[in-house]
């Protein structure tokens, strides 16, 4: 039997409802491979590797590992927004050093395109430094913006289906609210995540594939002026006295004073004013909401951690992708991302496969332009056909104890530190 080597799994970027299911898939699948030793979770992503902050996941109670299915976001081992930039060679060298010190032969990195790039670079450097390292990526993002626009590298990312399901419920229930309160509160504006990529706001259409609701969906990809938006809302009010608006956080309504994170991504959750607020204020100012008022909901991070609305399909797929990544690693297939590809045909079915990390790192996914309707404020039936299978048909029951959700609680079993303390390069600059 081959010598067993340890494994490090790390998470990067914004979390999802199902990120822990992928982690569970990794931990549970590792039990079947004798050549995989201890599974370590790097605390807060690559920063945990740099700081030698490694949680022993193999030694955790199996029941706690299983509960990862019902534990949202990244509370268990944490994620990070730390990106090792090309010029931060010292960081890359440190990663290799830590891996050597802990006999790490497998590195699984869960994240978006940026993370696939990091995983790829780590694999290349390891090879140069004589470390036998198998690096494999695990896809993840509620935004569904990993891979390519043709859905060939990946059909959809784990995490998207659950946020899409959240929006299906959100809009269905909000439509009841709007219907019930409409003489006084005729306009309800809701802001969706997804940066400037429209997959999340588009999911609002899943609440109403038959187009019976007075629902308008504004994607960043289909900009219009506030005046035009107000005209659309006004037309809807004339028709039926009420209107439900779902708008992307990245929709261009002018200055919102957003903060840019260390990835260079806009942190819309920290903007000085929200898109929803600007729209609400405009509608109230021009008096469209008649006697009453437009009002706004900004659910924010709730749409990626509202566990009761997680999609069972998404949870299962995220788990399988974690298993697949572990299998790729354990069988020595370095430089790949585990992926989900959809079978042709009317019956929804997926297969788990691999695609080169470099291909993913160099690709960009946009919301397909043909999926936006001519009106500009809706999405087509084709989008619905794409997204509907991802949210499934059932609610996920949550284990409860003493009036609260029973979430995974890991023991603080950390790997012994073997190297000198290290300050990540980006941290020195701030």
Contact predicate 59/411, CB 8 Å: yes
C-alpha R_g of the chain: 23
Residue 235 annotated in active site = no
Residue 271 and residue 213 in contact, taking contact as beta carbons nearer than 8 Å: no
What does the alpha-carbon distance between residue 430 and residue 423 come to, in Å, rounded to a whole number? 11
Q: Which is nearer to a copy of itself, 133 or 310 (CB)?
A: 310
C-alpha span between 92 and 95 (Å, rounded): 5
Contact criterion met (CB below 8 Å) for 290 and 237: yes
**74 touching a copy of itself, by CB under 8 A:** yes
CB atoms inside a 10 Å sphere around CB 25: 27
Closest CB to a copy of itself among residues 127, 267: 267
| 400 contributes a contact to a copy of itself by CB under 8 A | yes
Q: 4, 398, 413, 414: which one contacts a copy of itself (CB under 8 A)?
A: 398
Q: Does 232 bind a copy of itself (CB under 8 A)?
A: no
Rule CB under 8 A: choose which of 107, 251, 309, 410 binds a copy of itself: 309
Find the binder of a copy of itself among 264, 345, 403, 412 (CB under 8 A): 403
Q: Which of the residues 143, 145, 155, 378 is marked catalytic?
A: 143
> Based on CB atoms, which residue is closest to a copy of itself, 345 or 403?
403
- CA-based nearest residue to 186, from 289, 329, 64: 289
Nearest to 72 by CA among 115, 14, 111, 28: 14
297 near a copy of itself, judged by CB under 8 A = yes
Q: Which is nearer to a copy of itself, 278 or 329 (CB)?
A: 278
269 near a copy of itself (CB under 8 A):
yes
Task: Give, to the nearest 10 degrees, the angle between helix 226-240 and helix 275-286.
Answer: 60
Binding segment for a copy of itself (CB under 8 A), chosen from 106-114, 177-185, 194-202, 322-330, is 177-185
Of the candidates 206, 220, 237, 415, which one interacts with a copy of itself according to CB under 8 A?
206
Q: Is 277 in the site for a copy of itself (CB under 8 A)?
A: yes
Q: Does 49 bind a copy of itself (CB under 8 A)?
A: no
Helix (H) or strand (E) holding 239: helix 226-240
Among 25, 36, 39, 44, binds a copy of itself (CB under 8 A): 44
Question: CA torsion, points 203, 256, 158, 176, in degrees to nearest 10?
Answer: -30
Taking the complex as a whole, the smallest distance from the CB of residue 176 to a copy of itself amounts, in Å, to 3
Cβ neighbours, 10 Å, residue 270: 11
Pick from 90, 124, 148, 177 the residue near a copy of itself by CB under 8 A: 177
Contacts of 396 (CB under 8 A, 6+ apart): 70, 307, 308, 310, 311, 312, 315
DSSP secondary structure code for residue 356 in this structure: E
Q: Contact 200/192 with Cβ under 8 angstroms?
A: yes
CB of 408 to a copy of itself, least distance (A): 9
Is 185 among the residues that bind a copy of itself (CB under 8 A)?
A: yes
Contact in structure between 269 and 278 (CB atoms under 8 Å): no
Q: Does residue 256 touch a copy of itself according to CB under 8 A?
A: no
To a copy of itself, the closest distance from the beta carbon of 33 in angstroms equals 27
Asked whether position 179 contacts a copy of itself by CB under 8 A, the answer is yes
Q: Is 118 in the site for a copy of itself (CB under 8 A)?
A: no
Q: Which is nearer to a copy of itself, 5 or 43 (CB)?
A: 43
Name the residue nearer to a copy of itself (CB basis): 100 or 169: 169
For every residue of 330-342, DSSP letters joined together read HTT-TTEEEEEEE
CB of 423 to a copy of itself, least distance (A): 13
In angstroms, give the least distance from the CB of 163 to a copy of itself: 13
Point out the residues that are catalytic: 143
């Amino acid at each position: 039997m081959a010598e067993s080597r340890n494994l490090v799994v790390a998470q990067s970027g914004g979390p999802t409802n199902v990120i822990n299911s992928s982690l569970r898939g990794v931990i549970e699948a590792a039990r079947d491979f004798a050549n995989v030793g201890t599974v370590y979770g790097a605390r807060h992503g690559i920063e945990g590797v740099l700081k030698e902050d490694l949680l022993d996941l193999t030694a955790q109670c199996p029941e706690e590992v299983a509960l990862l299915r019902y534990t949202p976001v990244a509370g268990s081992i944490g994620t990070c927004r730390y990106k090792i930039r090309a010029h931060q060679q010292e960081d890359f060298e440190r990663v290799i050093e830590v891996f050597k010190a802990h006999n790490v032969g497998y590195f699984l990195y869960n994240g978006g395109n940026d993370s696939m790039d990091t995983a790829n670079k780590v694999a290349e450097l390891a090879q140069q430094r004589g470390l036998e390292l198998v690096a494999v990526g695990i896809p993840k993002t509620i935004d569904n913006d990993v891979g390519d626009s043709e859905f060939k590298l990946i059909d959809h990312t784990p995490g998207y289906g659950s946020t899409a399901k959240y929006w299906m419920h959100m809009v269905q229930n909000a439509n009841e609210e709007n219907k019930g309160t409409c003489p006084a509160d005729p306009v309800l504006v809701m802001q969706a995540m997804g940066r400037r990529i429209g997959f999340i706001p588009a999911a609002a259409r899943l609440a109403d594939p038959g187009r019976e609701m007075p629902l308008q969906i504004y994607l960043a990809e289909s900009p219009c002026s506030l005046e035009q938006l107000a005209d659309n809302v006004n037309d809807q009010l004339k028709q039926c006295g009420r209107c439900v608006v779902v708008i992307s956080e990245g929709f261009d309504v002018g200055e919102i004073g957003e903060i840019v994170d260390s990835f260079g991504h806009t942190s819309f959750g920290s903007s000085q004013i929200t898109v929803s607020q600007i729209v609400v204020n405009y509608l109230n100012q021009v008096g469209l909401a008649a006697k009453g008022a437009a009002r706004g909901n900004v659910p924010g991070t709730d749409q990626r951690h509202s566990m009761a609305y997680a999609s069972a399909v998404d949870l299962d797929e995220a788990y399988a992708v974690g298993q697949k990544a572990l299998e790729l690693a354990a069988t020595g297939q370095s430089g790949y991302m585990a992926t989900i590809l959809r079978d042709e045909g009317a019956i929804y079915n997926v297969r788990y496969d691999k695609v080169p990390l470099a291909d993913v790192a160099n690709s960009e996914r946009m919301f397909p332009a043909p999926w936006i309707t001519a009106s500009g404020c809706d999405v087509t039936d084709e989008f619905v056909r794409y997204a509907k299978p991802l949210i499934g048909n059932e609610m996920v029951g949550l284990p409860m104890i003493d009036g609260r959700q029973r979430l995974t609680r890991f023991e603080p079993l950390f790997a012994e530190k073997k190297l000198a303390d290290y300050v990540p390069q980006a941290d020195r600059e701030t």
